[in-house]
Structure 1
Amino acid sequence: MRFRNATLFVALSIAWGSAFTAIKAGLEFFPPVLFAAVRYDLAGVLMMAYVLLTTDHWLPRDRDEWLVVGIDGLLLIAVYHAFLFVGEQGTTSGASAIVVSLSPILTTVFARAFLPHERLTTVGTVGLLLGFVGVGVLSNPDPGNLLGTRTVSLGFVFVAAVAFALGSVLTQRLDTDMPAKTMEGWSMVIGAVLLHAASVGIGESVADVDLTLEAIGALVFLSVVSSAIGFLIYFDLLKRLGSIEINLVSYAAPVVATVTGFVVLSETPTALTFVGFGFIFVGFALLKRRAIRSQIVRSRSYAD
């Protein structure tokens, strides 16, 4: 069982980490928001087909369930991917993945905001600040040009991470009996519709798509491997490992994104890339130190 979990964890890290490289490659051929929309057209169809084949609870049944898929479709799919795809135009795959790895830290912040009786400790506050320092180091803004392409692009990616974290917390607050796969399928469908609306709203056109083999390859990889298969692995591991260990995917993904970006797109990471990632990872460890310690103790008890 442990070997199976480890294998799936590595597979998920590769599927989600290499997605950043596939996005960057596909942006050469698609307008960004339209690219995200078409990705979830395909992924939504695949996921809903799987839902219809595997569960009788394929349709949200009450107001709370529709609210959950609405929140997920808006924040986790539409807003997150719109800002991520736009942001990746001006930065590297690895840098984008590192900024997105801030999501578990931001999730903790939003959880505290929506649960007023919970407060950040001093150490937790330091962890939060280290996470933001990591993003600052990574973006390396030029004081004379704070609106430089790289800084603005990473700012868009940061907004994507905020949307993902907020959506995750709001979803957790709504306790429903809806299967995760049903929630994900409907979220993808709703998110795709919203992305298409946004694409039209900002003036993107299908005529701007250059449908080459490379474009089709990037689209299929994102829709099938990173989205449909990736989310199925994620929910399986979430049940087996819990939220703390699965959050570590956020820190394995940037490594994969950096490596695949270098191999596929010749993106060369800088020293600041590694320093920024280090700050964010240490910030996560400080914020989640108690949960990580409990998880280690639990793992040792299983081993004994």
Structure 2
Amino acid sequence: MTGLAPAVWGSTYLVTTELLPPDRPLLATAVRALPGGLFLLALGRKLPVGVWWLRALVLGVLNIGAFNFLLFFAAYRLPGGIAAMIMSAQPMFVVLLAALLLGDRIRAIHALACTVGAAGVVLLVFKGRASLDTVGVLAAAGGALSMALGITLTKRWGRPAGVGLLTFTGWHLTAGGLVLLPFWLALEDLPDTLTGPNVIGFTYLITLGAVLSYLVWFRGIERLPAVAVSFLALGSPVVATLLGYLVRNETLSPLQIVGMAVIFAAITLGQPRPPEPKPHPER
């Protein structure tokens, strides 16, 4: 179930390029987060209390605001394949942060899964030689670190007692959208007109791309180890590649198919193993 969230996020690139106004990534990100967050807050009718004002702000920035801003910034400064390769370091960051902040033991299987996952992403998206922009590389690495720290702190702090998942998700989306709002107002403007496809695209981002996907995502963080959740995020470039092939007639090479299989192997390696059944004592 948790893997459905990255699958939906993998469709964001197609929706953005085909349905949204061009060259307005901050508008797309702010509209994606803020209306859905305010809607969930209206449903839950509960604001943070005490330390949770700060925690909700931190988690909203890490999981949504800073992550999406850095992701879009890197996409404009780097070829998409290079950005995706750098972002694939996110599970490695979670492995390290979970050891530092959650006391999880670094396992050899997780190190192997990180290596396998990065290799799979390279096979899936790399298009040959590409020039590297230092600022773009730092932005992509910062986006990966932001998401990793967001996953780990969400797992560490949990959800406050008496607060439902709808309200908790609303805190994240609202905080992330409010942080992005001044950047959008300073750096972009509104399109002259909104077309029918624009409305459909924004509706998709708000409902599936934000509200439903983040509800599933935060539910998964509660129920799964942080490291297992981080590997599920590798499914996003797989979905983006498949949609490009099915909808935009992009090529899909045998090497990319191998890359998908390798990514799924890494995701499988990163999941928790069921405990072995204890033998019954002999009578």
Q: Does residue 242 of structure 1 match 2:224? A: yes
Question: Who is 1:265 aligned against?
Answer: 248
* Greater CA drift, 16-25 or 274-283: 274-283
Question: Who is 2:169 aligned against?
Answer: 184
Counterpart CA distance in 2 for 1:237 and 1:39 is 21
Shift of 1:168: 1.4
Q: Find the partner of 2:114 among 128, 134, 137.
A: 128
Long gaps (5+) in structure 1: 1-7, 53-57, 299-304
Q: Find the partner of 2:188 among 195, 201, 204.
A: 204
Counterpart CA distance in 2 for 1:157 and 1:16 is 16
> AA paired with 2:93?
L
TM-score, length of structure 1 as denominator length: 0.70
Aligned residue-pair number: 272
Q: Does residue 222 of structure 1 match 2:205? A: yes
**1:105–1:131 Cα contact (<8 Å) kept:** no
Question: Who is 1:146 aligned against?
Answer: 132
Return closer, same or farther for 1:146/1:73 CA change in 2, 3 Å cut-off.
Answer: same
Counterpart CA distance in 1 for 2:121 and 2:32 is 27
What's the CA shift string for 1:62-90, capped at 9, x where partnerless?
A: 11x12221111111111111122334456
Question: Who is 2:8 aligned against?
Answer: 15
| Structure 1 residue matching 2:129: 3-state secondary structure | coil
Question: Who is 1:60 aligned against?
Answer: 48
Long gaps (5+) in structure 2: 278-283
Q: Find the partner of 1:33 among 26, 37, 43.
A: 26
Return closer, same or farther for 1:139/1:154 CA change in 2, 3 Å cut-off.
Answer: farther
| Structure 2 residue matching 1:292: 3-state secondary structure | coil
Counting aligned pairs with the same residue, the percent is: 25
Counterpart CA distance in 2 for 1:113 and 1:242 is 18
Question: Who is 2:281 aligned against?
Answer: none
> AA paired with 2:188?
E
Question: Who is 2:38 aligned against?
Answer: 45
Return closer, same or farther for 1:280/1:204 CA change in 2, 3 Å cut-off.
Answer: same
| Structure 2 residue matching 1:73: 3-state secondary structure | helix
Q: Find the partner of 2:143 among 155, 160, 163.
A: 160
Return closer, same or farther for 1:194/1:266 CA change in 2, 3 Å cut-off.
Answer: farther
Counterpart CA distance in 1 for 2:104 and 2:182 is 38
**1:31–1:209 Cα contact (<8 Å) kept:** no
What's the CA shift string for 1:138-185, capped at 9, x where partnerless?
A: 445637x333xxx98687455323211111112322253243332221
Counterpart CA distance in 2 for 1:121 and 1:248 is 14
> AA paired with 2:55?
V
Shift of 1:28: 4.7
What's the CA shift string for 1:220-248, capped at 9, x where partnerless?
A: 10101221122334455666x63477666
| Structure 2 residue matching 1:77: 3-state secondary structure | helix
Q: Which has the higher helix share?
A: 1
Question: Who is 1:85 aligned against?
Answer: 72
**Equivalent residues in 2 for 1:276-291, closer than 5 Å:** 276-277=259-260, 280-286=263-269, 288=270
What's the CA shift string for 1:113-158, capped at 9, x where partnerless?
A: 335x655345543443444445555445637x333xxx98687455
Return closer, same or farther for 1:276/1:154 CA change in 2, 3 Å cut-off.
Answer: farther
Shift of 1:219: 1.0
Question: Who is 1:292 aligned against?
Answer: 272
* Greater CA drift, 226-235 or 247-256: 247-256
Q: CA RMSD in A?
A: 3.8
**2:234–2:267 Cα contact (<8 Å) kept:** no
Shift of 1:112: 2.0
**2:244–2:250 Cα contact (<8 Å) kept:** yes
Counterpart CA distance in 2 for 1:140 and 1:172 is 36
TM-score, length of structure 2 as denominator length: 0.75
